[in-house]
Structure 1
Amino acid sequence: MTVLSPLSQSSPSLADWLCYIEQKHPQHQIELGLNRIRLVAERAGLQQLPGKKILIAGTNGKGTTARTLEQLLLAQGFSVGVYSSPHLLNFNERLRLNGQDVADPLWLDAFGFVEQLRADTELTYFEFTTLVAFRILCQLQPDFCLIEVGLGGRLDATNIIEPDLSLLTTIDLDHQDYLGPDRVSIGREKAGIFRHGVPAVVLETDLPDSVLEVAAQLGTQLWRSGAQYQFSQGQLWSWQSANHQLLQLPKPAVPQANVAAALMALELLQVLPDVGVLEKVLADLSLPGRMQWLSHQPAVLLDVAHNPQSAAYLASQLTELKGRYLKIHALVGMLKDKDCAQSLQCFDGLIDQWHLVSLPGARGATAEQLSAVFSDNSALCCYSMVQDGYQAALDALQQDDLLVIFGSFVTVSAVLALQMETEV
């Protein structure tokens, strides 16, 4: 079947473009490699992003680390572009300029530009959208470009740029079909964002040897958590490096380890904010879908935790919250290519009632598949659709209960969409 380019239409919409590239190369058909995207990018210099570039890779924590960097830079008067994926509700979320999602007209112009630029070169969904975002960043010329790696690092489409600083968050088991079966191979792939002579901040404290080997081979100097910088945990916490010490900082709504890595990155780029700016930003720092309170009465908490490492962090936060609530309910939907069993086992003894939902599409796990993880089915309810499970979970909540929703971006985005419908 021939798929016609939206350029043949008089006024294509953003939805038209997304449908076109999805039909050309569905999102779930991942093809890692830099040859295609580099070939197209170099025709217009799209790999040469403006300003200072920070390339952010890792299994978890990329989004919150980028948000921290973004807000601390904006508070100092810099212009900031952030490229991230996936989105929760609208595709426009994938590119922010100065905290605002880029509007349709810029996307439409850039899609048309890249479609003509690629000529006969086939691009994956992510390669196409990455070039479109890079085209917009080249037009807008922000002072800083914060670029989240999509998958891995070494062969991810974003790795065509030359960063001024690389930032590696965490390394854990995820996407093993593409990155390798263990942390050693995954770490090697993620360390592919390192460059010779370019500083790299590393949040992960339990580094596999492969990361150190790549850094040594490339001549990359690492600034590591617990070594070149340290931080404490708690409601009031501290951070220090060889050159700075920051005390009595307010606890943010994002992981403190991610904030600590962001502070090290900013110091290396010589834009570390003063304490007053930092305190103000941390007090309001948040990111949709990450420890996000949908409401407080009833108490409903959202988090996109979808693998064992992120699930363990969410479980640690629920442990702190548990004493405030009579019961904790969980609404969970996951993708079947994730480690569902190990992720859900993180919540042993924390959840009083499970509401398991089936997710759509070829990658979606069914509620029954999730239920097989549990040896005791007495506190389980299964639903074929997210909306059915969400309504049932809300109906089951008592005044002093908490509902936590997690397992996938798909699950969280579906609930956010339902919430928006009820507010209209």
Structure 2
Amino acid sequence: MTNLLSPASQSCQTLTDWLCYIEQKHPQHQIELGLGRVLHIAQRADLHLLPGKKILIAGTNGKGTTARTLEQLCAVQGFSVGVYSSPHLLQFNERLRLNGEDVADPLWCEAFAFIEQLRADIELTYFEFTTLASFYLLRQQQPDICLIEVGLGGRLDATNIIDPDLSILTTVDLDHQDYLGPDRESIGREKAGVFRSGKPAVIGETDIPQSVLKYSQDIQAKLLCINKDYQYSVNETSFSWRGVQSQFEALPLTSAPLQNVATALTALEALTLLPSKQQTVQVLAELSLPGRMQWLNKTPGILLDVAHNPQSAGYLAAQLQFIKTEYARVHLLVGMLKDKDIQQSLAPFHDLADQWHLVDLPGSRGAQASMLLAQLPAQSHYCCYSDLESGYQKALLSMQPNDLLVIFGSFVTVSAVLALQKETDV
């Protein structure tokens, strides 16, 4: 390819250089939904034609855990697997995994240089640029299975330029209303845009919006719905899954939501990629995902979760009902973005918190601790902090050995604490 790198990008030598260049061209928080630009560029090098079996994963919550479950269940069978996901927690490289390993800097730099030349004078958003770079790498590496996590919505998301063999809709809840619509019906319709005519579509949402069902019927997608076409049941020590033709009993309980695990198993069954019972047990016994119900310590307890909207917060609060019985007091460290539904996200914790630690998040989207405080009951015990590091350190100092600290509210919050923990461990 003729060298068409812009003068600014020609100076990019490292991954940090490239990320700074892309961020300056189009900051991450600036979102422009639409497939026109990204598809036009992709078609210049067939980047939308990904290798192997392709699964496109949409949903308000649960995309990451569903993708990780699928990845592990495929890898244990000996398949090579590529996973594209966002956002990252600690480093950008996490956004593309190949056979369980984050893609190294040199490959990212090669991909960004290729996309920079390919795009010519067409402007791309940060997400579009990184999506095309990931698709370039997936085509280069040729994994057996590509797991692609939607960034925002579905219908107009850059990832939707591919033709998946199967689509997944994990859940539908209120989030990103400025882009996806004011209610579950409009949001559901946007997310259902990842479905394809005549192809399987696995739905993990228990309360499916009518817009999803109507669109599925209109395009004649092959729906597989939880509690209808597949289901799971739980007892004290294990759970069982029943798919369309297969079923597994006495599977180990896992920190990942079982709804997502059941959805992943059903998707693999539909693609005739279902692992054996023994392989499934092996995977679930060790299944975890950074930032999702992640324990940093047990005594005192320090638990991280990226819950940042009403649905994911409700799930976390429900889990805490069981976890808190092992601890004397519950501390909650919370930092959120101001475009989230703060009131409904904090409401499930009102009766769980003995002490709130509220922190300001930086940037134009970061909410001030005072905004969080305004949504708490008047009798709440709380402390407010101007930055997350001081809030985290003070929260740790206020704890007794038999206390529990739960950190949630945003990917920004969890990633910052993980970074602080990494510094401490070095």
TM-score (normalised: structure 2) = 0.97
**Which of 413, 420, 423 is the aligned partner of 2:422?**
420
Instruction: Provide the secondary structure at the position in 2 that maps to 1:222.
Output: strand
Cα distance per residue 1:156-200 (max 9 Å; x no partner): 000000000000000000000000000000000000001111100
Where 1:238 maps in the other structure, the secondary structure is strand
1:147–1:158 contact (8 Å) kept in structure 2: yes
Equivalent position to 1:254, from 248, 253, 256: 256
What secondary structure does 1:17 align onto? Answer: helix
Q: AA paired with 1:423?
A: D
Structure 1 vs Structure 2: percent identity of aligned residues? Answer: 66
Superposed counterparts of 1:53-202, under 5 Å: 53-202=54-203
Distance 1:310 1:374 in 2: 18
What does 1:265-280 align with in structure 2 at a 5 Å threshold?
265-280=267-282
Q: In the alignment, which residue of structure 2 is the partner of 1:18?
A: 19
- Give matches, 1:247-396, under 5 Å: 247-376=249-378, 378-396=380-398
The 2-side partners of 1:170 and 1:99 are apart by 25
Name the structure 1 match of 2:33: 32
Partner of 1:214: 215
The offset of 1:241, in angstroms, is 2.0
What SS class does the counterpart of residue 284 from structure 1 fall into?
coil
1:154 & 1:241 partners in 2: Cα distance? 27
Q: Secondary structure at the match of 1:232?
A: strand
Q: Say if 1:4 and 1:20, in contact at 8 Å, map to a contact too.
A: no
Checking the alignment, whether the CA contact within 8 Å between 1:54 and 1:164 is kept in structure 2 is yes
Q: After superposition, what is the alpha-carbon deviation per residue over 1:24-71, rounded to whole angstroms, capped at 9, x for unaligned?
A: 011111000000000000000000000000000000000000000000
Give 1:376 deviation, angstroms. 1.9
Query: Partners of 1:264 and 1:33 in 2: how far apart?
Result: 30
- Answer whether contact 1:68 1:262 (CA < 8 A) is retained: yes
Contact 2:37–2:124 (CA<8 Å) still a contact in 1?
yes
> Equivalents in 2 of 1:259, 1:8: separation in Å?
45
Q: Tell me, what secondary structure is at the counterpart of 2:285? A: helix
What secondary structure does 2:349 align onto? Answer: coil
Cα displacement string for residues 364-406 of structure 1 (whole angstroms, at most 9, x for unaligned residues): 0000111001132550100000001000100011011000000
Mapped partners of 1:181, 1:84: distance in 2: 25
Contact 2:291 2:304 in 1 (8 A): yes
- Report what 1:52 is aligned to: 53
* TM-score (ref. length: structure 1): 0.98
Q: Distance in 1 between matches of 2:234 and 2:86?
A: 28
SS at match of 1:346: helix
Is the contact made by 2:350 and 2:376 (CA closer than 8 Å) also made in structure 1? Answer: no
Could you tell me which amino acid in structure 1 is paired with residue 320 of structure 2? L
* Deviation at residue 5 of structure 1 after TM alignment: 5.0
Q: Deviations over 1:111-131 (max 9, x none)?
A: 000000000000000000000
Distance in 1, Cα, partners of 2:249 & 2:66: 20
Q: In the alignment, which of 228, 241, 257 is matched to residue 239 of structure 1? A: 241
Q: Secondary structure at the match of 2:405?
A: strand
Classify the secondary structure of the residue corresponding to 1:259. Answer: helix
Does structure 1 conserve the Cα–Cα contact (< 8 Å) formed by 2:306 and 2:414? yes
Q: Partners in 1 of 2:39 and 2:192 — Cα distance?
A: 19
Gaps of 5+ in 1: none
Query: Aligned pairs, how many?
Result: 421
Which stretches in structure 2 are left out of the alignment for 5+ residues?
Answer: none
Answer whether contact 2:93 2:104 (CA < 8 A) is retained: yes
> How far 1:242 sits from its partner (Å)?
3.0
CA distance in 2, matches of 1:335, 1:140: 36
